[in-house]
Chains A and B, each alone.
Chain A
Amino acid sequence: MDISSLLLAVICLLGIGIYAVLVARNLIKVIVGLQVLVKGAMLALIAAGQIAGQPEVGESLALTVIVADTIVAVVGLALAVQVRRRFGTLDIKALSTLRR
């Protein structure tokens, strides 16, 4: 896989992820958007490894990110469960009681 397609994929993933986080109204969609973002970052790491001529470093970094990111996803989803229980909805507009 050549570098330019990798970079294109990175940009697409980042774009989709940011779009999802900005626009989504459902908390789960926001968390999924975060996941897509992180995947984009992982791909960027792999691409960087390729460019630097040390692909194994890039891949091991990406693997570590998977682990860390999974934990973040688990925590995020656990919070989402609690939000559903206490707020009765997953709409992030409802999560705006703390303001000013």
Chain B
Amino acid sequence: MTETNAILWLLATPMLSAPLIYLIGRIIIRLRDSAAENNRPGPGRGWLRVPGWLALASLLASFVPLFIAAQPVMRYGVARSFVGGVPLAMDGISLVLAATSLLLGSLVVLFSMPYMAGEAGEEKYYALLPAVISTIIGLGCANDFFNMWVWFEAMAVSSYLLVAFYTNERGALEAGVKYLVQSAIGSVMVLLGISLVFAQTHTLRLDAIAAWAGQPNMITLAAGVLFVIGFGVKTALVPLHTWLPDAHSQAPSGVSAMLSGIVIEAGLIAMLRALGNLPGGLPIWGQILLGFGALNMLVGNMMALRQKQIKRLLAYSSLSHIGYMLLGFGAAAIFHLQNPAAGGFFHLFNHALMKGLAFLSAGVLLYALHIASGDHVPLTVDDLNGASKRYPLAAFGLSVAVLALGGLPPLAGFMSKWQIFVGSVETRDLTMILLVVFAALNSVLSLGYYAPLVNRMYRKAPSAAVQAGKPVSKLMAAPIVMLLVGVIILGVWPGLIESITQTAGKNLAAMFSIPVAHLLPMIGR
């Protein structure tokens, strides 16, 4: 494997393993069913775990090409490859997306093995997770609009199936339907935007569009707006976010972690790529990002404040964290600075870890208190009372996760928020400084719903649900411990992944800048 075809292997490994896992899973189930019919001993329970282990193996194996492909990215800022005539380019942004999705995905698969044990359609689950991850990596590496749309749509379809996984539950079906309809409308808008851009610039390649010599006009502006709204449905910009609380709370906990942690961020990255490569390098796109960012931060926090269901609360809080990322990216887009973008990418990575930790710990509690007894009711705030006595690790994990999300040191969430805020103030612009104060106040407000959860868990009097709860398998503990370690280490040593996030930040700032070719006429050369 050389550096050039590493990207190919990175995409192919999870993507090709998906149908394989499904096939093997169905074969095992067929064998088990026919054995049961004929009263013969068939494959035991251990065999049912095979799809899960295969999914984990394929994701872990993908780390190798990731590492190899990362080398030229870190050295030169970009790595290119050709896959059947389609050019793929992996830059810092793609690297962040790929690394986050693989890391979170592996932990989610590990977590899901006991969580989803015995569910109908388990093999579909383990096939879909690597599929989603490979589409996200592809989305990050796409170099032209159409490629990007295809990966985007593939990601959307895989996630529809994962959201509506519990087909026996009305809530999951409702959430799935709404997600599908709204997401499809977003896709249509993206297609319209692509057609406008294509009609105007006569090319679909992102770098060619960025270098287009014409002046930005109504067509390109309209295309940009279509991209914002179209990708924005997937990114859960307010007021396009209405599918999110339902989808993230009704999905299985591992899927919730993936959705909040990486799927909506992939939508954000797609939007950034589309906007950044629009001709003209206009500041309006950054301003739109900032506007939506402020809206997201406020609405996300206010809606989460009154939630009584844990997963819904966490879903709304994802809205506000997208807001913080938009703040950093918007500042970088308008002022072409690297630090706020690096902070935004750092927050993307951290948010995946923290939200993953939160959803997985909540998942442990949901499993132990409800699912193991066959109940599909949502985990409520009252169920958390006194959970720390019987489920110390899950309680500690959820506490650390929510306090990290609230931006308390020495945890990861604080460090990335710091970089975003300080980087945004670097612009020395009054509006940016006011936005930073707004964001900091929002961060304080979020503690108003995060901290009471911690208080509830460490009560002495347990809730009825906790008293009746079932024990929890060790496999669920491992990803929680790993995420805990990650969140704490990044909080103490923010420079650990600095090289990756700064590269991505540089890419973003460059993307939104006016290309050099446009500046030459201005210099009169």
What bracket does the count of chain A residues touching chain B fall in?
35 or more
Beyond A34-B181, A72-B184, whether A98 also contacts B175 by CB under 8 A is yes
* Whole-angstrom CA separation of A45 from B157 in the bound complex: 21
Which residue of B146, B157, B174 has the most chain A CB atoms within 10 A of its CB atom? Answer: B174
Q: Enumerate chain A residues within 8 angstroms of B170, measured Cβ to Cβ.
A: 86-87, 97
* Whole-angstrom CA separation of A65 from B191 in the bound complex: 9
The reply on B185 being an interface residue by CB < 8 A is yes
Q: Enumerate chain B residues within 8 angstroms of A82, measured Cβ to Cβ.
A: 164, 167, 173
B401 to chain A, nearest CB (A): 24
Q: Enumerate chain B residues within 8 angstroms of A80, measured Cβ to Cβ.
A: 177
- List the interface of chain B (C-beta within 8 A of A): 146, 150, 153-154, 156-157, 160-161, 164, 167-171, 173-178, 180-181, 184-185, 187-188, 191-192, 194-196, 198-199, 202, 204, 245-246, 249-250
Q: Enumerate chain B residues within 8 angstroms of A97, measured Cβ to Cβ.
A: 170-171, 174
Q: Enumerate chain B residues within 8 angstroms of A75, measured Cβ to Cβ.
A: 157, 160-161, 180
Q: Enumerate chain A residues within 8 angstroms of B188, measured Cβ to Cβ.
A: 14, 17, 34, 37-38, 40-41
Q: Enumerate chain A residues within 8 angstroms of B171, measured Cβ to Cβ.
A: 97-98
Q: Enumerate chain B residues within 8 angstroms of A95, measured Cβ to Cβ.
A: 173-174, 177-178
Question: Chain B interface mostly helix, strand, loop or mixed?
Answer: helix
CB of A47 within 8 A of CB of B199, answer yes
Q: Enumerate chain B residues within 8 angstroms of A1, measured Cβ to Cβ.
A: none
- Segment 26-69 of A: residues with Cβ below 8 Å from B: 27, 30-31, 34, 37-38, 40-42, 44-45, 47-49, 51-54, 57-58, 61, 64-65, 68
CB of A27 within 8 A of CB of B192, answer no
CB of A83 within 8 A of CB of B177, answer yes
* Whole-angstrom CA separation of A15 from B405 in the bound complex: 42
B192 to chain A, nearest CB (A): 6
CB of B191 within 8 A of CB of A72, answer no
CB of A72 within 8 A of CB of B180, answer yes
Which residue of B150, B187, B245 has the most chain A CB atoms within 10 A of its CB atom? Answer: B187
CB of A52 within 8 A of CB of B177, answer no
CB of B157 within 8 A of CB of A72, answer yes
The reply on A71 being an interface residue by CB < 8 A is yes
B223 to chain A, nearest CB (A): 10
CB of B198 within 8 A of CB of A83, answer no
- List the interface of chain A (C-beta within 8 A of B): 14, 17, 21, 27, 30-31, 34, 37-38, 40-42, 44-45, 47-49, 51-54, 57-58, 61, 64-65, 68, 71-72, 75-76, 79-80, 82-83, 86-87, 92, 95-98
Q: Enumerate chain B residues within 8 angstroms of A96, measured Cβ to Cβ.
A: 174
Q: Enumerate chain B residues within 8 angstroms of A72, measured Cβ to Cβ.
A: 153, 156-157, 160, 180, 184, 187
Closest B residue to A33 using CB positions: B181
Q: Enumerate chain B residues within 8 angstroms of A47, measured Cβ to Cβ.
A: 195, 199
Closest A residue to B153 using CB positions: A68
Task: For the complex of A and B, list the 5 residue pairs with the smallest distance between their C-beta atoms, beginning with the closest.
Answer: A48-B195, A41-B191, A48-B199, A51-B199, A44-B195
CB of B150 within 8 A of CB of A45, answer no
Residue from B168, B180, B185 in contact with A86 in the complex, judged by beta carbons closer than 8 Å = B168
CB of A27 within 8 A of CB of B177, answer yes
What are 30 pairs between A and B in contact, CB < 8 Å? Answer: A14-B192, A17-B188, A30-B181, A34-B181, A38-B191, A40-B188, A41-B191, A44-B191, A45-B194, A49-B198, A51-B199, A52-B199, A57-B198, A61-B194, A68-B150, A68-B157, A72-B156, A72-B157, A72-B187, A75-B160, A79-B160, A79-B176, A80-B177, A83-B177, A86-B173, A97-B174, A98-B171, A98-B245, A98-B246, A98-B250
* Whole-angstrom CA separation of A71 from B131 in the bound complex: 15
A57 to chain B, nearest CB (A): 7
Closest B residue to A86 using CB positions: B170
CB of A79 within 8 A of CB of B250, answer no
* Whole-angstrom CA separation of A72 from B177 in the bound complex: 11
